[in-house]
Amino acid sequence: MLFISKKTAKLAENVAADDVSGRSLWATAMARFTKNKAAMTSLAVLIVIFLFAFGAPFVSEWEYSKIDWEALKDDSLQAPSIATGHYFGTDEQGRDMFARVALGSKISLAVGIIGAAIAVFIGTLYGAVAGYFGGHLDNLMMRFVDIMMSIPYMFFLILLLVAFGKRIELLFIGIGLISWMDMARIVRGQTLSLKNKEFIEAAVATGLTSMTIVRRHIVPNLMGVVVVFATLLIPQMILTESFISFLGLGVQEPMTSWGALIDQGAGTMRYGTIWQLAFPLGFFIATLTSLFFIGDGLRDALDPKDR
């Protein structure tokens, strides 16, 4: 029988602790994130929503723009039914709500992700350059941000869509271009605390150019903050798109989004057809709630004070 002394056991515990403490920030953050039950549950819900958005067209018996003339015979919306293939019922024009909610989910998620990607790219680069170079350039760049933030962004987006047409590509770009300023301010503040660190001074001593230092050393060390802010930025993008579509300036027929579907569903509630509102609203609320919980979990996992 093998006997292990207390001293040997204590040494083994110290070695194991050193192995854990020696893990990278991302490995430690991933371990912490997986222990967050709310965040992991939200991630599972979000995966299911993505699978529904991109997989539903292969399951649905109807296309999103196809009209079921049989459903229009009694001059009323058809309730959800497996027998007819309308799993979420039909809208007032006899179109399948299952296919339309899937299409709306795909478009709303695309607007959120693409818009957030544009905002993160511009805001991260802009804030890192302003914070690293400092001085008059920093002052000039941040005063421009202050001026831009004083303009009501919703007014700017509505004016853009009215002036150049209600195109979905313009909606993607417009939402991204008006949402990068908060990211720029956050990144600038983090850059100011990083640029005097020893590894930055070592990079300067080796003769690297300023933009190379920003690209290779500043931006990678900001990724934790950027990832957390991006997960919180996506819900904001989806809300903005839904509001624009609710006003009739966003996605146009026969395409649709959660905002447009919610608008149509709210208009038919007086007929007692709650399903046309309930399904898109349910996916909308579930997605926003999941993204907020995921962002909160990432913030806790990447918090250096809790490591």
The per-residue pLDDT for 81 is 81
Q: 32-81: per-residue pLDDT in tens?
A: 888 889 989 999 999 999 999 999 888 888 888 888 887 777 656 778 88
- Retrieve residue 96's tokens: 């399948």
The residue-averaged pLDDT of 162-191 equals 83
Are 44 and 62 in contact by the 8 Å Cβ rule? The answer is no
pLDDT band at 101 (very low <50, low <70, confident <90, very high): very high
Give 81's strand partners. 86
The per-residue pLDDT for 283 is 93
Q: Is the pLDDT of residue 169 over 80?
A: no
Q: What is the mean pLDDT of the chain?
A: 81
- Cα–Cα distance measured from residue 7 to residue 13, given in angstroms and rounded to the nearest whole number: 10
The per-residue pLDDT for 272 is 66
For residue 67, report the phi and psi dihedrals to the nearest 5 degrees.
Answer: -95, 130
Among candidate residues 157, 234, 232, 229, the one with its CA nearest the CA of residue 188: 229
Q: Is the pLDDT of residue 282 over 60?
A: yes
- Cα–Cα distance measured from residue 97 to residue 86, given in angstroms and rounded to the nearest whole number: 7
Q: Is the N-terminal amide bond of 80 cis, ω within 30° of 0? A: no
Q: Is the pLDDT of residue 9 over 60?
A: no
- Cα–Cα distance measured from residue 83 to residue 100, given in angstroms and rounded to the nearest whole number: 18
The per-residue pLDDT for 160 is 80
Q: How does DSSP assign 176-218, residue by residue? A: HHTSSHHHHHHHHHHHHHHTTSHHHHHHHHTT--HHHHIIIII
Highest mean pLDDT among 121-135, 149-163, 192-206: 121-135
The residues, ordered by sequence, that sit 6+ positions from 266 with a Cβ below 8 Å of its Cβ are 277
Give 95's strand partners. 67
The residue-averaged pLDDT of 160-169 equals 78
Q: 196-233: per-residue pLDDT in tens?
A: 888 888 888 888 888 888 888 888 888 778 888 888 88
Among candidate residues 174, 183, 129, 134, the one with its CA nearest the CA of residue 155: 174
pLDDT band at 26 (very low <50, low <70, confident <90, very high): low
Q: Is the pLDDT of residue 304 over 60?
A: no
Q: What phi-psi label fits residue 177: left (phi over 0), alpha (psi between -120 and 50 degrees) or beta?
A: alpha
Are 121 and 233 in contact by the 8 Å Cβ rule? The answer is no
Among candidate residues 174, 213, 183, 211, the one with its CA nearest the CA of residue 122: 183
Q: Is the pLDDT of residue 251 over 90?
A: no
The residues, ordered by sequence, that sit 6+ positions from 170 with a Cβ below 8 Å of its Cβ are 160, 161, 164
- Cα–Cα distance measured from residue 81 to residue 79, given in angstroms and rounded to the nearest whole number: 6
- Cα–Cα distance measured from residue 93 to residue 253, given in angstroms and rounded to the nearest whole number: 12
Q: 81-100: per-residue pLDDT in tens?
A: 888 888 888 888 888 889 99
Give 67's strand partners. 95
- In the numeric block, the tokens 């909160």 are attached to 296
The per-residue pLDDT for 271 is 67
Q: Give the count of alpha carbons within 13 A of 57, CB side only.
A: 12
The per-residue pLDDT for 76 is 62
Among candidate residues 235, 238, 221, 245, the one with its CA nearest the CA of residue 292: 235
Among candidate residues 249, 251, 184, the one with its CA nearest the CA of residue 222: 184
Q: What phi-psi label fits residue 38: left (phi over 0), alpha (psi between -120 and 50 degrees) or beta?
A: alpha
The per-residue pLDDT for 246 is 75
Classified as helix, coil or strand, 92 is: coil
